[in-house]
Amino acid sequence: MDHSTATPPKDAPMRWAETRACIRQDFARFVPLMGDNVTLPRKVFWFLLPSFQGVFLYRLYRHAYLRGWRTLANLMYLFNHYVTRVDIPPATSIGPGCMIGHCPVVLCGCIGSNFTLMGDGGTGGGFDSQDIGGGPGLPVVGDNVVMAIKSIVLGPIRVGDGARLGPGAAVMRDIPAGAVVAAPLSRITRTTDGDVAHAPSGGSDQ
């Protein structure tokens, strides 16, 4: 489904089997990173990483939230935030196959399946309180979206399926499906000997 063109429905309560399936698909995203020798100790190591634990705990309290156990969900959310530095409120909707590379991160709104965030960035609200399906002032992110380190998506905007955000990209307007968004490269303004450098500001060939 292309989330850039449709407002997703509100999530219904999930069965425990559905929550377990989401957790399995989340962890499956890490398996290729383990290399050819996928041993039990290696699986345990990756499972215990804060970046995965943050998503794992989110799945548990998201399940509680959708079942109406709001107090339990909020307490688990606070525990998750303090321990892993992964800030995903219970009201945030994330499809299966979510992978976070490094903490800290903040994820708010409605996010599709197979979402990747490298770390130190995320999605959140802007100044507009419009609700397009992710909550007041929050974005709707499609499937198979990749956000590089320090990239952010802010406000009631839509990011289409398969979009890729480069390092440090700040997105505050709708992004079509399959688009690549790149932040301007930094430029050298002065060399080590104090001379002013004349190198032009860079772009990106992404």
Cα–Cα nearest to 147, from 127, 128, 169: 169
* pLDDT reported for residue 62: 97
Tell me what percent of the residues of the chain surpass a pLDDT of 70: 88
**Residue 16: phi, psi to the nearest 5?**
-60, -35
Over residues 143-167, the mean pLDDT reads 96
Over residues 158-177, the mean pLDDT reads 96
Residue-wise over 64-86: b if at least 16 C-beta within 10 A, else e?
A: bbbeeeeeebeebbeebbeebeb
- The whole-angstrom separation of Cα 82 and Cα 195 is 46
Assess whether the previous peptide bond of 156 is cis (omega < 30° from 0): no
pLDDT surpassing 80 at residue 30: yes
In this predicted model, which residue has the larger pLDDT, 192 or 125? 125
